[in-house]
């Protein structure tokens, strides 16, 4: 029980020392956190190009099915939708879009800006671009070219545009609030690390508590710091 009590006491003392170090270097932690936060905000706002996103939706229907859909037919529809996702971002479609819009892109670079997915029988095409109007034009033109070419590619003519893309008004990235928050966190962590590092490298003794810990004995007395003003007062007292 005695050993356990000593261990708990040492742990309490260690925690007190940690808090003391943090309190002593609190100004450093705050300064670094503010610098990192400001730097992150400036970089995000002025140096990172904003990206805008436009989305369009197409609906796919099967007019040849007039009965309850079986599990086999559901599986076939899912495979068909997956195929449509691939066709929508394929070079055949994108090369036509590049020609229609006179884009300085390749089919590969344009596909990197796109994401095609489906929810049930709805195809969703998302396009990201630095210019809002261009993102809007690419999304809508791709949907139109896809709907026109699918009958020739897949012998399937029941694809219609459900919701055309709108011109985005605000960027989806970068997220300035999140980046500033991350900068604040990183700055604070760097400040805490630096505070402990400075304390670890500082071998000077500044307080009586540090002396007691170092020599493992109580301090019997202290010599006050004398200034030049104290010496002048002492000389005047002797002269009188």
| 144-156 pLDDT, tens digit each | 999 999 988 888 7
The pLDDT score that the predictor gives to residue 64 is 53
Q: What are phi and psi of 95, to 5 degrees?
A: -60, -35
User: Residue 160: which residues within 8 A CB-CB, separation 6 or more?
Assistant: 58, 59, 61, 147
Query: Which of 82, 127, 83 lies closest to 105, judged by CA?
Result: 127
* ω into 64 cis (within 30 of 0): no
Strands (E), the chain: 52-60, 114-119, 122-129, 159-163
Residues 94-126: tens digit of each pLDDT? 999 999 999 999 999 999 999 999 988 899 999
* Cα–Cα distance, 116 to 97 (Å, whole number): 15
CA dihedral 143, 144, 146, 152 (to 10 degrees): 160
The pLDDT score that the predictor gives to residue 157 is 76
Query: Which of 174, 111, 184 lies closest to 142, judged by CA?
Result: 111
Query: Which of 88, 82, 96 lies closest to 113, judged by CA?
Result: 88
The pLDDT score that the predictor gives to residue 9 is 45
Give the CATH number of domain 52-163.
3.30.70.1130
Residues 137-194: tens digit of each pLDDT? 999 999 999 999 998 888 877 889 999 999 999 999 998 899 999 999 999 999 999 9
Q: Is residue 179 within 8 Å of 155, Cβ to Cβ?
A: no
The pLDDT score that the predictor gives to residue 18 is 83
Strands (E), 135-185: 159-163
What are the structure tokens assigned to 36, written together? 């990192």
Strands (E), 168-207: none
- Is 200 or 48 the better-scoring residue by pLDDT? 48
Residue limits of CATH 3.30.70.1130 in the chain: 52-163
Treating both helix axes as pointing N-terminal to C-terminal, what angle do 176-201 and 2-24 enclose, rounded to 10 degrees? 120
Specify the pTM. 0.68
Q: Is residue 52 within 8 Å of 86, Cβ to Cβ?
A: no
């Amino acid at each position: 029980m005695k050993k356990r009590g000593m261990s708990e006491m040492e742990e309490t003392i260690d925690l007190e020392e940690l808090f003391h170090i943090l309190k002593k270097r609190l100004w450093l932690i705050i300064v670094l956190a503010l610098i990192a936060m400001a730097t992150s905000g400036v970089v995000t706002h002025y140096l990172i190009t904003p990206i805008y996103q436009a989305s369009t939706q197409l609906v796919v229907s099967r007019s040849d099915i007039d009965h309850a859909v079986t599990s086999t037919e559901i599986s076939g529809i899912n495979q068909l939708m997956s195929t449509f996702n691939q066709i929508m971002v394929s070079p055949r479609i994108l090369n036509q879009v590049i020609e229609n819009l006179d884009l300085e892109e390749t089919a590969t670079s344009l596909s990197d800006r796109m994401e095609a997915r489906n929810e049930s029988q709805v195809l969703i095409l998302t396009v990201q671009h630095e210019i809002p109007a261009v993102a809007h034009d690419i999304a809508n033109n791709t949907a139109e070219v896809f709907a026109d070419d699918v009958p020739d590619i897949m012998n399937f003519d029941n694809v219609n545009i459900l919701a055309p893309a709108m011109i985005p008004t605000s960027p989806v990235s970068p997220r300035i609030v999140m980046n500033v928050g991350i900068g604040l966190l990183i700055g604070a962590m760097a400040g805490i690390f630096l505070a402990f590092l400075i304390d670890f490298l500082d071998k000077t003794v500044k307080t009586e508590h540090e002396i007691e810990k170092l020599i493992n004995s109580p301090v019997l007395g202290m010599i006050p710091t004398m200034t030049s003003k104290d010496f002048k007062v002492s000389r005047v007292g002797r002269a009188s």
